[in-house]
Amino acid sequence: MVKIRTPYYLIDEKALLKNMKRIEYVRRKCGAKSLLALKCFSLWNVFDLMSKYMDGTTSSSLFEAKLGYEKFGRETHAFSAAYSRGDIDEIKGFADKIIFNSISQLKKYYPLIKSNKEKKNISLGIRVNPSVSYSHFDLADPARKYSRLGEIDIEKVKSVLNKISGVMLHYNCENGDFAAFDKMLNFISKKYKDVFNKIQWVSLGGGISFTNDSYPLDKFCGALKKFSDDFGVEVYLEPGEAAITQSAKLITSVLDIVVNIKKTAVVDASVEPHMLDLLIYRQSAKLDEKAGENEYIIAGRSCLAGDIFGAYKIKRKLSIGSIVKFSDAAGYTMVKKNWFNGLQMPSIAVKRLNGKIEIVREFDYKDFKQS
Decide if pLDDT at 120 tops 90. no
- Please tell me what DSSP assigns to residue 273: H
Decide if pLDDT at 268 tops 70. yes
User: Same domain, yes or no, for 334 and 234?
Assistant: no
Q: What phi and psi, each to the nearest 5 degrees, are found at residue 134?
A: -130, 110
Mean pLDDT over 120-136 rounds to: 93
Q: Are strands 75-80 and 56-58 parallel, antiparallel or unpaired?
A: parallel
User: Same domain, yes or no, for 54 and 94?
Assistant: yes
User: Same domain, yes or no, for 89 and 181?
Assistant: yes
- Per-chain mean pLDDT for the chain: 96
User: Same domain, yes or no, for 215 and 356?
Assistant: no
Task: Give the domain-ending residue among 211, 244, 277.
Answer: 244
User: Same domain, yes or no, for 240 and 251?
Assistant: no
- Residue 249: which residues within 8 A CB-CB, separation 6 or more? 9, 10, 12, 288, 325, 326, 327, 329
Does an H or E element contain 264, and which?
Answer: strand 262-267
User: Same domain, yes or no, for 175 and 255?
Assistant: no
| Residue 4 belongs to some domain of the structure | no
Mean pLDDT over 332-353 rounds to: 97
Mean pLDDT over 180-189 rounds to: 97
Cα(314)–Cα(288) distance, integer angstroms: 10
Q: Which residue range(s) make up the domain with 260?
A: 246-370
Mean pLDDT over 95-104 rounds to: 98
The domain that holds 310 is classified in CATH as: 2.40.37.10
CA 120 and chain centroid, separation: 29
Question: Strand, helix or coil at 11?
Answer: strand
Mean pLDDT over 81-92 rounds to: 97
| Residue 29 belongs to some domain of the structure | yes
Decide if pLDDT at 117 tops 70. no
Mean pLDDT over 127-137 rounds to: 94
Decide if pLDDT at 1 tops 60. no
User: Same domain, yes or no, for 330 and 351?
Assistant: yes
User: Same domain, yes or no, for 235 and 133?
Assistant: yes
| Residue 311 belongs to some domain of the structure | yes
User: Same domain, yes or no, for 207 and 181?
Assistant: yes
pLDDT tens-digit series, residues 315-324: 999 999 999 9
Task: Give the domain-ending residue among 244, 259, 280.
Answer: 244
Decide if pLDDT at 51 tops 80. yes
| Residue 288 belongs to some domain of the structure | yes
User: Same domain, yes or no, for 33 and 65?
Assistant: yes
User: Same domain, yes or no, for 78 and 128?
Assistant: yes
Task: Give the domain-ending residue among 190, 214, 244.
Answer: 244
pLDDT tens-digit series, residues 205-228: 999 999 999 999 999 999 999 999
Cα(215)–Cα(18) distance, integer angstroms: 14
Q: How many domains does the chain have?
A: 2
| Residue 3 belongs to some domain of the structure | no
| Residue 355 belongs to some domain of the structure | yes
